[in-house]
Amino acid sequence: MSGTESLRRFTDRVVELAAELAGPEFPSGDQADAEQLEHLIDQVVAWLGWEVFHADPARPAFHRHNDLLTQWGGPNADNVYRHARVEPGRRYRITGHMHSCSQFLLAVRKGFMHNEVWGTVETLSASDLGLGPDDRVDITLGGPPVDGAHVPLPDGAVMVSIREYYDDWLPAEPATFVIECLDDVGPAPAVTEVELAERLDRAFGQVSDSLWYWTRYLNDQRAQRTVNRFGEGIQVAKGLAQARYSFLFWDLAPDEAIVVECDVPDAPYWGFQLYRMGTFELVDPVGRCTSRNHRQTQVSADGRLRLVLAPVDVGAANWLDTAGRPEGLCTLRWFWPRTDASPETDATVVKIDAVAEALPGDTPMVTADQRAAELAARRAHLAWRFRT
């Protein structure tokens, strides 16, 4: 198959996949249809980059996923995600600078969650190494252990991932990381038509598998739960042992809101985030307040958390903007838990004009000017975090 034929095969399959988005498993309605097609396009961008240009574990470079443009699988609004190809038997070195990054979690993995073979086999965090903002990073991977930070590459490992955490959302330099293979591999050979065809086939497989996996994941998770209520905390099998999640699928009329009352999670990192159904992308993280972590959420005088999910700003400091979407997902995540117990969480649907009555009198409130300043600060931080 020639290079032109393999490219035509890829594009034809993408067009066929686009037609499948009109099926019953995907959202319906004009806006949802357009968003689903947009999501398909950003999946094409993401997975072409990964499979075509980041295919060689002998010459790795970090590929950024889940930024403001290419999202999949419910990304954490506080993270930058990077992935690089690796393979057992080779030696690698990761160096970098934390800058304003508060934490990172390095994971050696067998694949992405939507792949047939996947799972996390090794992890290492910045806090494990005693690192924090402005510190230097130097980690070796694979081969025999050496002095300093070292992570093995077990059989089956195909990638190393780094999740960077940004708690304060400051307009400041984000972390930088580079990876190099320490083996003498020489210059990269020119890609052949056979290799290009194989890479394009793998890229389409990633696009299709990702779309179908996460849509079914959302549909299945919703079917297991009562809408407008948080479910029990879960830990993803084969995922990160440090991660816990609880899901609330909202279904609201235009004049309704949800008041959430919650224990403060017993963990150093936690947050609430809103997602779109069908695509599992964040609800507009740039133009709206659709996520709040432990540094962005005010605790009430009685030690409880109270948040309001609503399509309009009701003045509560801990407002999460649903952007007028009648349906969506609110995820509570808490990482590095100090206990196995999940935080007790209540959620009550109320009319928007009755939100104030549903909140204690000492609930933290903000003015319109304070909200505008908050939004401006969020935009400034994201511009820095995802700068090119």
Q: What are the tens digits of pLDDT across the range 122-170?
A: 999 999 999 999 999 999 999 999 899 999 999 999 999 999 999 999 9
* Of 264, 361, 350, the residue nearest 309 (C-alpha): 350
For residues 22-37, average pLDDT: 82
Q: pLDDT averaged over the chain?
A: 95
Give the per-residue pLDDT at 30: 65
Walk me through the domains of the chain, giving residue ranges and CATH numbers: 3-214 (no CATH), 227-385 (2.60.120.1600)
pLDDT at residue 29 greater than cutoff 70: no
Confidence of residue 242 (pLDDT cuts 50, 70, 90): confident
β partners of residue 243: 335
pLDDT at residue 239 greater than cutoff 80: no
Please give the Cα distance from 366 to 345 (Å, whole number): 23
| pTM for the model | 0.95
Contacts of 57 (CB under 8 A, 6+ apart): 85, 86, 87, 90, 158, 181
Query: How far from 128 is each of 3, 65, 106, CA to CA, in Å?
Result: 46, 24, 11
Q: What are the tens digits of pLDDT across the range 188-207?
A: 999 999 999 999 999 999 99
Q: What are the tens digits of pLDDT across the range 256-279?
A: 999 999 999 999 999 999 999 999
Give the per-residue pLDDT at 22: 86
Higher per-residue confidence, 25 vs 179: 179
pLDDT at residue 363 greater than cutoff 90: yes
- For residue 46, what is the enclosing H or E element? helix 30-48
pLDDT at residue 231 greater than cutoff 70: yes
Query: How far from 179 is each of 81, 83, 134, 162, 197, CA to CA, in Å?
Result: 14, 10, 19, 11, 27
Give the per-residue pLDDT at 241: 82
Confidence of residue 112 (pLDDT cuts 50, 70, 90): very high
Give the per-residue pLDDT at 26: 87
For residues 214-218, average pLDDT: 94
